[in-house]
Amino acid sequence: MRSLLKPHNALISVFNKTGVEKLAKELTLNNIQIISTGGTAKLLEDNLIPVRKVDEITGFPEILGGRVKTLNPKIHGGILADRNEISHLNTLKSLNIPHIDIVIVNLYPFEKIKNNSKGNEKKIIEGIDIGGPTMIRAAAKNYEDVLVVVDPDDYNLIIEKLRAEKIDKEFRKNLAKKAFQHTCYYDASISEYFFEDSSKSSHLESPDNLDSSLFFLHLEKTKELRYGENPHQKGNVYVNLRHPKVPNILESQIHGNEVSFNNLLDLDTAYQCIKGLEKFACLIVKHNNPCGAAVASNLFDAFEQARKCDPVSCFGGIVALSHEIDENLAERLTDFFLEVVLAPAISPRAREILKRKKNLKIFVHNNLRYFKEYDLEVRQLVDCFLIQQRDFVRVLEKDCKVVSSRTPTSEEFKSSLFAWHISKFVKSNAIVFAKNFATLGIGAGQMSRIDATRIAIEKAKNNVRDLQGSVVASDAFFPFKDNIEEIAKSGASCIIQPGGSVRDEEVIETANQHQLAMIFTNFRHFRH
């Protein structure tokens, strides 16, 4: 009995009136009586569409400046009545309440009103829709008997279903899901306003965000990926609805095959890291770890120096660049198998050259939103979520303390800060050797710091990179002097690290014994 809906009455009350006349005309052609309110009713009447006004149904006028108009048993009874319950039907009949079979409602744009009201609390509060969400929730609850429509983009589909007489239960249930999502987001936006007003924000972009006991994630699926991290895992991309007009990384792709889950992880690391480098910079990422980075007087040389750090790992990697790619660099990039090229701009000729590589994914990130200092990152565990501030610490020379007997040279200090920045994006435990603003060897993701140190040295030697006079960055303190002894043997001359170990004195003394300069930053950069 409830499979197909045979509607007789439709209630229409919409703020966004796009396309509503077309739908209303179709309803009329299907002998469906339209009930409406205020501005919506006037629009329909102006388009010569027959309308029965709500107050004709309720026998009660709109009151309190429009705050109360649809909040009436004769409206909600018609929406909520169970058509399979004889007592419900008898009640409707005895009280002369019409069945309301279709509810077409969308809401006051609360967020827009809030953003445009410049702190005018009275205006903002009046932007909170009460009757609309109530009707939507009622109709969605009773989806077995009622069709609820909240999105103008669905109007054409409704018309098709009406003509085909295929408004079945599954269709109604799907629109009910959408309706509850709509009211959920709406209520969360209002809740956030009150949290913001009390200086205790509940969303992920406010200076006091970690003081909140509640958080809201406003996410919408924008892309279905082929799979997740592995082929047996599903994966999708969701964007933050709080920034619907902000270009995201997906929108910046101009060429190549479909981006993958892992590509996006690598792109995120590449983008964050390259934004923190000065002058002409290149970063190469593989498996979410930098495998080469350099800063040079031009972009071509920066790429060459970055690649030399680990030419093997560069294969199939992601190359991020700080400036426009010209045709010379484009030609050079096509000499290698790369997954992705990321740059703020690419010259027309360079684009032609890069596009010769059919599957090369090319991204132009000039319009991408960069993270605000107070953005948070969220990770889901099996049974809870972890939320933390992003690691935006940028250490400058003035923030550091030289703890060794030998003071580093100006060049050593500058190279150390470069290596320190790169280490922030290397999985812990992380060790980065660098010289002349180019990485020489990187040890990543090891369970012990000594292993990370030895791997970095070995990689440098295997790639014929001279460590003599190099600098070393460690993302966390050295727990034992063995790391310092290994570094001294490699030929490095300066170490930058957070400090903070119970064995700091022993570590510093070992550095002094080997004439190594040592810099403390007082900041740790674990990346798990």
Per domain, the residue ranges of the chain are 9-195, 253-364, 397-520
Q: Which CATH number fits domain 9-195: 2.60.40.740, 3.40.50.10540, 3.40.50.1380, 3.40.50.300?
A: 3.40.50.1380
List the one residue out of 343, 342, 301 whose CA is nearest residue 436: 301
Which one is catalytic: 22, 287, 414, 481? 287
Torsional sign, CA 489, 494, 495, 500 = positive
pLDDT at 244: 52
pLDDT at 222: 84
CB 105 within 8 A of CB 14: yes
141 in active site = yes
And the tokens for 260? Answer: 């993958």
Do the two domains 9-195 and 397-520 of this chain adopt the same fold?
A: no
Phi, psi of 146 (to 5 degrees): -135, 140
Q: Distance between CA atoms of 59 and 461, rounded to whole angstroms? A: 88
pLDDT at 162: 86
pLDDT tens digit sequence for 411-450: 999 999 999 999 999 999 999 999 999 999 999 999 999 9
Q: Distance between CA atoms of 341 and 325, rounded to whole angstroms? A: 10
287 in active site = yes
Q: Distance between CA atoms of 62 and 169, rounded to whole angstroms? A: 34
pLDDT at 214: 66
Query: In 150-306, where do the E strands start and end?
Result: 219-224, 236-240, 253-255, 280-286, 289-296
Query: 525: which residues sit within 8 A by CB, 6+ positions away?
Result: 391, 393, 420, 423, 424, 428, 430, 475, 476, 498
CATH code of the domain made up of 397-520:
3.40.140.20
Distances (CA, A) of 12 to 17, 18, 104, 109, 217: 10, 13, 5, 17, 30
pLDDT at 312: 94
And the tokens for 53? Answer: 């006004």
Give the SS3 label for residue 409: coil
Model pTM above 0.85: no
Per DSSP, the residues of 132-177 read: HHHHHHHHHHTTTT-EEE--GGGHHHHHHHHHHT--BHHHHHHHHH
Residues of the chain falling short of pLDDT 50: 1, 199-203, 207-208, 373-374
Q: CATH 3.40.140.20: does it fit domain 253-364? A: yes
pLDDT tens digit sequence for 131-141: 888 889 999 99
